[in-house]
């Protein structure tokens, strides 16, 4: 993957790459919705109304912390589940069936 900014290739980005393996993209909908919901509650009048009250450094720290927590939560979820929660509900609604929740061969500790 080559990154470009205003039509110019970034030399440092030549070695950047990412891997999307089967089953690794299933929680994107849930991650997006969770991030949007949490940040909307923090910054809008529906929640803490923090827009304009936090410094850019605090906003950056908050968003990076939320992102790291979401990566950890999503990774932990996808180790034992076949789909993310949002995708599971979408599959159930569109296929009119109850999809398997757990990944085959996974063990639930709880």
Q: What is the pLDDT of residues 21-35, one digit of tens each?
A: 444 555 678 888 999
pTM of the model: 0.65
Q: How confident is the model at residue 75 (pLDDT cuts 50, 70, 90)?
A: confident
Q: Whole domain around residue 41: which residue ranges?
A: 24-95
Q: In the chain, how many domains are there?
A: 1
At 4, is the pLDDT very low, low, confident or very high (cuts 50, 70, 90)?
Answer: very low
Does 54 or 9 have the greater pLDDT score? 54
* Cα–chain center distance at 12: 25
Residue 103 lies in a domain: no
Instruction: Tell me if residue 5 falls in helix, strand or coil.
Output: strand
Is residue 31 domain-resident? Answer: yes
Is 12 within a domain? no
CA distance linking residue 29 with residue 91, whole number of Å: 12
> Distance of CA 50 to CAs 56, 57, 62, 63, 69, Å?
12, 13, 12, 13, 20
């Amino acid at each position: 993957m080559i990154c470009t900014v205003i039509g110019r290739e970034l030399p440092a980005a030549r070695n950047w790459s990412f891997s999307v393996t089967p089953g690794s993209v299933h929680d994107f909908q849930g991650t997006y919705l969770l991030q949007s919901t949490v940040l909307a509650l923090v910054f809008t009048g529906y929640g803490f109304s923090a827009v304009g009250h936090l410094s850019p450094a605090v906003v950056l720290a908050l968003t990076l912390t939320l992102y790291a927590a979401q990566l950890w939560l999503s990774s932990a979820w996808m180790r034992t589940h076949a789909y993310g929660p949002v995708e599971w509900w979408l599959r159930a609604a569109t296929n009119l069936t109850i999809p398997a929740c757990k990944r085959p061969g996974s063990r639930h500790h709880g």
